Amino acid sequence: MGGCVGSHHDSTGSLNENSDGTGGRNQPLKRERPKWKSDYPMTEGQLRSKRDEFWDTAPAFEGRKEIWDALRAAASAFEGNDHLLAQAILDGASITLPHV
């Protein structure tokens, strides 16, 4: 038989995932901005254009559009330094990252 996937909120209101009986929990977003480097120089306008292209095409490859929309909204909130809103969007959409 297959495993059961479910979720529930604990006493603090945080979402807990339970997929294989071991349970799991997302860690809060880190407030530090990731650093990246482009292979070629680009202006802020070019970067924004690339980001828009990514968000517009990503749902076509895999996944549900509403999840991609939530990820885009969370990324936008995070970029605007509204970390609490970004975390609330991820929690509200039940978006979790696997623990490595």
Residue-wise pLDDT tens digits, 16-62: 444 443 345 667 777 777 677 788 888 889 988 999 999 999 888 88
Domain annotation covers residue 65: yes
pLDDT at 11: 46
Domain annotation covers residue 100: no
pLDDT at 36: 72
Classify residue 9 by its DSSP letter: E
pLDDT at 24: 52
Domain that holds residue 81: 30-92
Least confident of 6-10, 44-48, 87-91: 6-10
Euclidean distance between CA atoms 93 and 100, whole angstroms: 21
How many folded domains does the chain comprise?
Answer: 1
pLDDT at 35: 75
- CB of 15 within 8 A of CB of 91? yes
pLDDT, the chain, mean: 76
Residue 35 to residues 19, 27, 32, 38: CA-CA distances in angstroms? Answer: 32, 20, 9, 10
CATH number of the domain encompassing residue 60: 1.20.225
Question: Tokens 């609330």 appear where?
Answer: 88
